[in-house]
Amino acid sequence: MTGHAETSVTTSDKPAVWRGRVWLMVVAVIFAAMFFLYYYEDIRIGPPQPVSFSHRVHAGVKEINCRFCHSNVERSAHAGLPEVEKCFFCHKYIIPKYPEMQKEERFFNTNTPVPWVRIFWVPDFVFFNHIPHIKWAGFDCSRCHGDVKTMDRLEYTKFQMNFCITCHRENRAQVDCWLACHR
């Protein structure tokens, strides 16, 4: 009788121990996956902005032209960001009571430029100008900025010199450092 009881204890305990180990592994894998998702999401979607402006909604879903908001991109070295007034062309009528819009309205009423977090930049010693790239060579914005239309929050890209030079070589553009980019 006792012998029988012993075997039944060991046979029913062993799977329990294994089940415990498998569960532990499953939990560990889930934690690892969550960690990586959060970690990479931070990098993938770029920094939070003072107002949760979305390029996916405006340039993607609503198909507003890039040049409507970045109107200097063909006229001066800097594309520039839209002034607060420009948002209210539309938002005086569209979702004016939405909390994010009321934040924007506070900037408008106090005449404060929105402190947007800068995403794309090159160091001071590099000369860059949008005009030859867009007006003359006719590149699409996405060649350098990625598919902005699909992004809620723009992501950081550090432009490496290689990025400029490879394309200049491919397109027979100026590759003399001092004449072109380091003036």
Among 118, 125, 158, 162, binds ligand HEC (CB under 6 A): 118
Among 33, 44, 121, 150, binds ligand HEC (CB under 6 A): 121
Our measurement of the distance from residue 180's CA atom to the centroid of its chain's CA atoms, rounded to an integer in Å, reads: 29
Under the binding rule (CB under 6 A), the answer on residue 104 touching ligand HEC is: yes
Query: Residue 59, class by beta-carbon neighbours within 10 Å (0-12 exposed, 13-18 middle, 19+ buried)?
Result: buried
The helix/strand/coil state of 82 is coil
Contact 142, 113 (CB under 8 A): no
Q: Annotate 115-133 with b (16+ C-beta within 10 A) or e (fewer).
A: eeeeeeeeeeeeebebeeb
Taking the complex as a whole, how short is the minimal distance between the CB of residue 176 and ligand HEC, in angstroms? Answer: 9
By beta-carbon proximity to ligand HEC, the closer residue of 36 and 68 is 68
Among 19, 44, 75, 143, binds ligand HEC (CB under 6 A): 143
Taking the complex as a whole, how short is the minimal distance between the CB of residue 84 and ligand HEC, in angstroms? Answer: 7
Among 136, 158, 162, 178, binds ligand HEC (CB under 6 A): 136
Contact 181, 126 (CB under 8 A): yes
DSSP state of 115: -
Compute φ and ψ for 54, nearest 5 degrees: -120, 120
Taking the complex as a whole, how short is the minimal distance between the CB of residue 169 and ligand HEC, in angstroms? Answer: 10
Taking the complex as a whole, how short is the minimal distance between the CB of residue 111 and ligand HEC, in angstroms? Answer: 15
Angle made by CA atoms 20, 26, 32, in degrees to the nearest 5:
135
Q: Give the footprint of ligand HEC on this chain (CB under 6 A).
A: 49, 51-55, 57-59, 62, 64, 66, 68-70, 73, 78-82, 86-87, 89-91, 94-95, 98, 100-101, 104, 116, 118-122, 126-130, 132-134, 136-137, 139, 141, 143-145, 148-149, 154, 159, 163-164, 167-168, 171, 173-174, 180-181
